[in-house]
């Protein structure tokens, strides 16, 4: 048995900050001097050093000073085979897919290329502090296999699957519903629940799916009810118009997935920019999740996700944050939080009535404000809850897998350290309010250079190079 302890300053969450309006700190847990005890990769104790140190006196203890330690970040929506095509110029979703995405993803039919791409992908995740992801692959089993194999080598928790498309794409890119069903079944048998690997039935999006493909998804879900379902929903106006034309019997986008029995716990729809109030309500009632891909929604010009609507306490929708690489142009969820904050502020202005009093909804306006509590909850415990992984990851509760990130609040552009010195004295934060201010500084002034170390199952998997030359 391997046993160790980490001593340092810890922040995690015990509740949803949106349910603590005005006193969000009640949703957080903070130890200025804390101890995290880990046995064989699993957390066995967590608390104040002063309280636990007696019991664990003999355990090898690693001290991490002048850092904030948080649960590893959870990316609810990311595309492995788009690792190389970040930052493509000038297109909205549908022409962007055609021009950039399909040709690049096609290369992942070649196992050598897939291995190389997948390795870059995981290097980038770890350098961003992301320890869990729900990922799209592409329409060949090769890519999904390589993701499962590489995740297992790195002992990382992933949810992924063959990403099916058989409409509105070149013939060389599609997969038939029959092959999708057979190849998915084989991968489920081989990888689902093996180590930390989990399988998601993954129709790419309704705009790229025939009734037969969605029926194959339904069949897979019926045969394996414990599987995840991962897709896109209501991202872009042209896409949504296309779906309405293809599925004339469905009153809205969500209804397509409902028709095929896919919407329930463990369903995640990415983007949801143009979801109606009624669709939000149905997602909430079903226990299904939506992913706020803030950077991508801005990058591809898709629109402004209604954060305050998704977090309506009457109809709260489970929510993950997603980078959506390469629709999003950064791997870092810290950057996603930065973009999400700005989207929230814009929504908040619209809803405070100052533009048009008829649009005023002060409660929804407030819910759009992405405080550091709301932000970091969403990429840790909140993300885990939305993915139904909260028994496994997302906080420092005993029994969970010891994935965590070590943040240096001074890491970032030159402006960062002097800014942070406004907030904290030598010795680091002594209370949750100061820690939260530092976290806000990290997401708004700093960047991914704040990620100093990333730990997976109690082992350090990433350490920032002291020179900035390292590349991946
Ligand atoms: N919808 C279908 N495929 C994709 C994709 O690769 N990226 C994004 N952002 N949306 C999609
Ligand atoms: Zn996507």
pLDDT at residue number 472 = 53
Alpha carbons 12 and 222: distance in angstroms, whole number? 36
pLDDT at residue number 116 = 98
Quick one: CA torsion of 300, 94, 133, 228, rounded to 10 degrees? Answer: 140
Alpha carbons 109 and 395: distance in angstroms, whole number? 37
pLDDT at residue number 466 = 82
Point out the ligand nearest to the CA of residue 206. 1
pLDDT at residue number 447 = 97
Q: Contact 169/102 with Cβ under 8 angstroms?
A: yes
State the DSSP string of 281-305: HHHHHHT-EEEE-HHHHHHTT----
Alpha carbons 236 and 469: distance in angstroms, whole number? 37
Q: Contact 184/218 with Cβ under 8 angstroms?
A: no
ipTM for the complex shown:
0.99
Distance 98 CA to ligand 1 centre (A): 11
pLDDT at residue number 470 = 46
Q: Which residue has the tokens 């330690």?
A: 69
Q: Find, among 148, 226, 217, the residue nearest to 184 by Cα.
A: 217
Distance 128 CA to ligand 1 centre (A): 21
Distance 232 CA to ligand 1 centre (A): 7
Q: Which residues does ligand 1 sit against, CB inside 6 Å?
A: 79, 93, 97, 101, 204-205, 232, 235, 296, 324, 327
pLDDT at residue number 467 = 57
Q: Contact 75/60 with Cβ under 8 angstroms?
A: no
Q: Whose CA is nearest to atom 8 of ligand 1?
A: 327
Q: Find, among 285, 262, 339, the residue nearest to 307 by Cα.
A: 339
pLDDT digits (tens, 9 = 90+) for 147-174: 999 999 999 999 999 999 999 999 999 9
Q: Whose CA is nearest to atom 9 of ligand 1?
A: 327
pLDDT digits (tens, 9 = 90+) for 381-430: 999 999 999 999 999 999 999 999 999 999 999 999 999 999 998 889 99
Q: Contact 303/267 with Cβ under 8 angstroms?
A: no
Which ligand 1 atom sits closest to the C-alpha of 324? 9
Q: Which residues does the chain have with pLDDT short of 70?
A: 467-472
pLDDT digits (tens, 9 = 90+) for 254-305: 999 999 999 999 999 999 999 999 999 999 999 999 999 999 999 999 999 9
Q: What angle do CA 278, 282, 287 make, to 5 degrees?
A: 150
Q: In this structure, how many other beta carbons lie within 10 angstroms of the beta carbon of residue 313?
A: 11
Residue 23 vs residues 20, 183, 370, 374: alpha-carbon distances, Å: 5, 49, 14, 12
Distance 393 CA to ligand 1 centre (A): 27
Distance 88 CA to ligand 2 centre (A): 14
Which ligand 1 atom sits closest to the C-alpha of 205? 2
Name all domains of the chain by residue range, CATH numbers in brackets: 3-71+396-463 (2.30.40.10), 73-386 (3.20.20.140)
């Amino acid at each position: 048995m391997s046993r160790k302890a980490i001593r340092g300053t810890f922040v995690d969450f015990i509740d949803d900050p949106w349910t603590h309006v005005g006193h969000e700190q009640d949703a957080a847990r903070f130890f200025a001097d804390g101890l995290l005890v880990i046995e064989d990769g699993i957390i066995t104790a967590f608390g104040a050093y002063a309280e636990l140190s007696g019991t664990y006196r003999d355990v090898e203890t690693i001290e991490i000073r002048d850092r904030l330690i948080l649960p590893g970040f959870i990316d609810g929506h990311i595309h492995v085979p788009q690792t190389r095509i970040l930052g493509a110029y000038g297109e909205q979703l549908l022409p962007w897919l055609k021009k950039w995405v399909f040709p690049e993803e096609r290369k992942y039919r070649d196992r050598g290329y897939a291995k190389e791409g997948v390795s870059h992908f995981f290097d980038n995740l770890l350098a961003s502090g992301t320890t869990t992801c729900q990922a799209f692959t592409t329409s060949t089993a090769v890519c999904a296999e390589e993701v499962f194999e590489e995740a297992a080598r790195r002992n990382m928790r992933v949810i992924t699957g063959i990403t099916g498309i058989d409409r509105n794409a070149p013939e060389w890119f599609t997969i038939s519903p029959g092959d999708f069903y057979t190849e998915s079944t084989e991968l489920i048998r081989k990888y689902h629940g093996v180590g930390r690997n989990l399988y998601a039935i993954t129709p790419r999006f309704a705009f790229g799916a025939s009734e037969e493909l969605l029926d194959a998804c339904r069949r897979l879900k019926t045969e394996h009810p414990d599987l995840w379902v991962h897709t896109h929903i209501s991202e872009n106006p042209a896409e949504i118009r296309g779906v309405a034309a293809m599925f004339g019997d469905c009153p809205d986008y969500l209804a397509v997935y409902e028709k095929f029995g896919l919407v329930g716990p463990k369903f995640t729809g990415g983007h949801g920019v143009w979801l109606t109030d009624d669709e939000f309500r149905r997602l909430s009632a079903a226990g299904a999740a939506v992913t706020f891909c803030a950077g991508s929604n801005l990058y591809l010009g898709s629109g402004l996700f209604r954060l305050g609507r998704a977090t309506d306490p009457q109809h709260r929708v489970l929510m993950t944050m997603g980078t959506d690489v390469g629709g999003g142009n950064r791997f870092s969820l810290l950057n996603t939080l930065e973009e999400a904050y700005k989207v929230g502020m814009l929504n908040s202005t619209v809803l405070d009535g100052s533009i048009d009093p008829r649009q005023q909804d002060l409660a929804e306006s407030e819910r759009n404000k992405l405080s550091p509590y709301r932000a970091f909850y969403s990429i840790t415990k909140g993300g885990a809850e939305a993915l139904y992984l909260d028994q496994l990851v997302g906080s420092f509760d005993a029994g969970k897998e010891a994935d965590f990130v070590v943040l240096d609040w001074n890491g970032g552009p030159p402006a960062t350290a002097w800014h942070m010195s406004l907030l904290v004295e030598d010795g680091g934060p002594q209370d949750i309010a100061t820690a939260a201010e530092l976290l806000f500084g990290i997401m708004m002034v700093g960047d991914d250079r704040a990620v100093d170390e990333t730990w997976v199952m109690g082992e350090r998997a990433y350490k920032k190079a002291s020179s900035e030359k390292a590349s991946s």
